[in-house]
Structure 1
Amino acid sequence: MPTDPIALTADLIRCPSVTPEDGGALDLLAGKLSAAGFTCQRVDRNGTPNLFARWGDKGAAKTFGFNGHTDVVPVGDRAAWTTDPFGAETRDGWLYGRGATDMKSGVAAFAAAAIDFVTDTPPDGAVILAITGDEEGDATDGTTALLDWMAKEGEQMDVCLVGEPTCPNEMGEMIKIGRRGSMTARITATGKQGHSAYPHLAVNPLTGLVRLLDRLASYPLDDGTDHFDPSTLAIVTIDTGNPASNVIPAEAQATLNIRFNDEHTGASLTEWLEEEAEAVTDESEVAFRIDVRISGEAFLTPPGPLSDLVARSVEAETGRQPVLSTTGGTSDARFVKDHCPVVEFGLVGHRMHAVDERVCTDQIDRLKAVYLRILRDYFS
């Protein structure tokens, strides 16, 4: 009997796996995969739950991998939900619950496809599922832990598909072949505190900080590249913590986020930020400290055999010819790309992380069909 991806999605939604809690999600998957002949191994690190599952021999001539996550973001205002966020209620063709879109449906679809594929048409090769419980969090002990463990154990995926939601509005319209880089810079401006009536006796850190932020926000980083949109810089907060209207503070902070294409690296942008800060220091006497966290570098899997395989399968099952894109935020593909070629394809994502998060049940069945066709064509 075919594995029902809708029922599996519902079972996963009922596992309250808000990062870093697992809620039983990975044990549920391990049980179903083990029953189908997969070798399953928990690869937990620093309390973060992860699951590695392989069907077929280690070191097989061909190995196809799937990657995804079962952890979800917090519910938010529970009273705003019209249903239990972990109840997995089906209503009018929609399955409701936290993680319904991002991305328990994707995990259920590729797990169901993998189980049916190896059961009905055992391939001459191996299928690997690398599933983490730490994608929505800091992502320091999730997919990275799985990849570290795989390298140590001699496990290798030849190619990998990440099942994140990729379609903006219609099922089948977009495949991700790369992602922009992402970095956050926290800027601390230090001056000299003083009375606001005597500004000449103080060094106002806000004046220097505003000047620096204007320089950064006004600078055109680039015009885009062959596969990427122009890079963007957003100022997300400015803070002083100063309750007094007659005091020039000694310190002020600001945070900005940069999403960058393959014309830049995190290091080159950090150097640019420091050069701009130094120039403003020379003008204003305000000193700056810049603390940078790089979430991921820009990367691209060039169009080729893997994206062609996925695109053909998507078009065959959905009737749409997908666009190859690098838009959106980050995903765990930024880690997988150091292991093997990787692309992403999944459901329509515009309801992820929202109140009353939900997924059209027909899409889950269709996604399983896409993944099943990909496996059949890859090993044919």
Structure 2
Amino acid sequence: MKSSTDPVQNLAKLIACPSVTPAEGGALSALEAMLSPLGFSVERPVFSEEGTPDVENLYARRSGNGLHLMFAGHTDVVPVGDETAWSYPPFSAAIHNGEMYGRGAVDMKGGIACFAAAVGRYIDKNRDLKGSISFLITGDEEGPSINGSRKLLEWAKAKGESWDAAIVGEPTNPGKLGDMIKIGRRGSLSGTIVVHGIQGHVAYPHLADSPLPGMLMLLESLLYPALDNGTKDFQASNLEVTTIDVGNPALNVIPGKATATFNIRYNDTWSDETLMAEIHNRLDKAAGRRKLRPGKRAPVNYELIWRDRPSHVFLTHDNKLIETLTSSIESVTGERPQLSTSGGTSDARFIKDYCPVVEFGLVGKTMHMVDERVAIADLETLTQIYERFIADFFA
């Protein structure tokens, strides 16, 4: 079997590249070497922005008449952590007991390896491509996601590219291959609350104004009541307080400032604008309460700072794309996948502005962990699913 049609060989070549974000590490070159012999034209634009590292990306296309299918993903990986804790070196692609070990094995070099193999097999059987296939691959998904897919999509559109559908090869399955297709994602919105008080001695609290009681009231107002009870397609929106800090090492000093950060994963009950308005309204009401601040007449002196670039909630409604992938999975595995909007964000949040998009890839149990690994059998199964999907999509 040619290496470009063998997902195991493809993945071994990709894992061997230490492409810890934002380093290219040779991974895009390895992918280009797989795609060029299949007739793909390959471009590798580098994008920059002040204050962020330059990132190299890859766009490859093989053109034909008919629909244009995009496969999207990333070759960058998270750091390996404690390398001595790994059973095998994290970039060795070692195989043991039917599993390949390595950083990126499931998130998401494995998905890329399988799709490249599936395309190779499809082209071997169908010399004339019935449509166009493109690979949109970034090196900035695990990083700040500033110089990656967002700019790559804009760049490609400016060149005249357009797509009819996209599949993102992220690891979507929680237990076994065929469990789940992601047809949407919750939005993500982050903010920082700063409460200003007056620093002083704990023995003379009347001369100070601790920011902590006010902060507690503000945070309580964000946590209760719940933002919503969920919708038909999404679980309930959830706000998590991720840090609370006063920067105070002394036991006998009332701090002068408290800071808290939070993140909200929200469903289609909200837009980022309506959710921001709800948070402002809750904080303003809570700031005037005196529950924890007896004798304080002025409201809590706070400011709310929103983090840049919220991720918008979205849901894909394209029946052809969803049903074609569903039937492909069912025909290969015998399982009918659940349609889900669970989990975190992905680059699908950028792609949905250009074409309908779904996500389907490997089992994600070991992603980002020490000893990240994938079953060799799953690589072959996923390749078969992707090949069936390509054939049925263009049919």
TM-score (ref. length: structure 2): 0.93
Tell me the residue number matched to 1:195: 201
Per-residue deviation at 1:318?
Answer: 1.0
- The one-letter code of the counterpart of 1:230 is A
Counterpart selection for 1:308 from 323, 326, 329? 323
In structure 2, C-alpha distance between the alignment counterparts of 1:142 and 1:369, rounded to whole Å: 29
In structure 2, C-alpha distance between the alignment counterparts of 1:137 and 1:335, rounded to whole Å: 15
Counterpart selection for 1:243 from 249, 266, 285? 249
Secondary structure of the structure 1 residue equivalent to 2:288:
helix
Tell me the residue number matched to 2:269: 263
Per-residue deviation at 1:372?
Answer: 0.4
Tell me the residue number matched to 1:292: 306
In structure 1, C-alpha distance between the alignment counterparts of 2:329 and 2:70, rounded to whole Å: 17
Asked whether the 8 Å contact 2:221–2:286 carries over to 1, the reply is no
Secondary structure of the structure 2 residue equivalent to 1:101:
coil
Per-residue deviation at 1:191?
Answer: 1.2
Moved more, 271-280 or 360-369: 271-280
Tell me the residue number matched to 1:84: 89
Counterpart selection for 1:61 from 63, 66, 82? 66
Tell me the residue number matched to 1:218: 224
- The question of 1:40 aligning with 2:42 is answered yes
- The question of 1:272 aligning with 2:289 is answered no
In structure 1, C-alpha distance between the alignment counterparts of 2:74 and 2:350, rounded to whole Å: 13
- The question of 1:51 aligning with 2:66 is answered no
Tell me the residue number matched to 1:27: 29
Counterpart selection for 1:14 from 10, 16, 30? 16
- The one-letter code of the counterpart of 2:304 is I
- The question of 1:113 aligning with 2:118 is answered yes
- The one-letter code of the counterpart of 1:222 is D
Asked whether the 8 Å contact 2:272–2:310 carries over to 1, the reply is no
- The one-letter code of the counterpart of 2:351 is V
In structure 2, C-alpha distance between the alignment counterparts of 1:292 and 1:74, rounded to whole Å: 28
In structure 2, C-alpha distance between the alignment counterparts of 1:335 and 1:98, rounded to whole Å: 25
- The one-letter code of the counterpart of 1:42 is R
Per-residue deviation at 1:275?
Answer: 1.9
Task: Pick closer, same or farther for the CA change 1:159–1:303 going to 2, 3 Å.
Answer: closer
Per-residue deviation at 1:200?
Answer: 2.5
In structure 1, C-alpha distance between the alignment counterparts of 2:130 and 2:364, rounded to whole Å: 34
In structure 1, C-alpha distance between the alignment counterparts of 2:196 and 2:277, rounded to whole Å: 20
Task: Give per-residue Cα distances to partners, 1:15-67, cap 9 Å, x unaligned.
Answer: 0000000100001111221111101111221221110000015xx43111100
Task: Give per-residue Cα distances to partners, 1:123-178, cap 9 Å, x unaligned.
Answer: 22211110111111111111112101111000111100001011100110100000
Secondary structure of the structure 2 residue equivalent to 1:283:
coil
1:144-155 → structure 2 map (5 Å cutoff): 144-155=150-161
Tell me the residue number matched to 1:317: 332
Asked whether the 8 Å contact 1:160–1:343 carries over to 2, the reply is yes
Tell me the residue number matched to 1:354: 369
Secondary structure of the structure 2 residue equivalent to 1:100:
coil
Tell me the residue number matched to 1:228: 234
Asked whether the 8 Å contact 1:21–1:133 carries over to 2, the reply is yes
Per-residue deviation at 1:303?
Answer: 5.7
Task: Give per-residue Cα distances to partners, 1:184-207, cap 9 Å, x unaligned.
Answer: 211111111122222222221111
Tell me the residue number matched to 1:72: 77
- The question of 1:93 aligning with 2:93 is answered no
- The one-letter code of the counterpart of 2:264 is I
1:109-188 → structure 2 map (5 Å cutoff): 109-121=114-126, 122-188=128-194
Task: Pick closer, same or farther for the CA change 1:76–1:295 going to 2, 3 Å.
Answer: farther
Secondary structure of the structure 2 residue equivalent to 1:129:
strand
TM-score (ref. length: structure 1): 0.97
Per-residue deviation at 1:119?
Answer: 3.5
- The question of 1:371 aligning with 2:386 is answered yes
- The one-letter code of the counterpart of 1:229 is Q
Per-residue deviation at 1:281?
Answer: 2.7
Asked whether the 8 Å contact 2:217–2:287 carries over to 1, the reply is no
Asked whether the 8 Å contact 1:177–1:303 carries over to 2, the reply is no
In structure 2, C-alpha distance between the alignment counterparts of 1:287 and 1:91, rounded to whole Å: 59
In structure 2, C-alpha distance between the alignment counterparts of 1:274 and 1:199, rounded to whole Å: 29
Secondary structure of the structure 2 residue equivalent to 1:210:
helix
Secondary structure of the structure 1 residue equivalent to 2:20:
coil
Quote the RMSD (CA, aligned, Å): 1.3
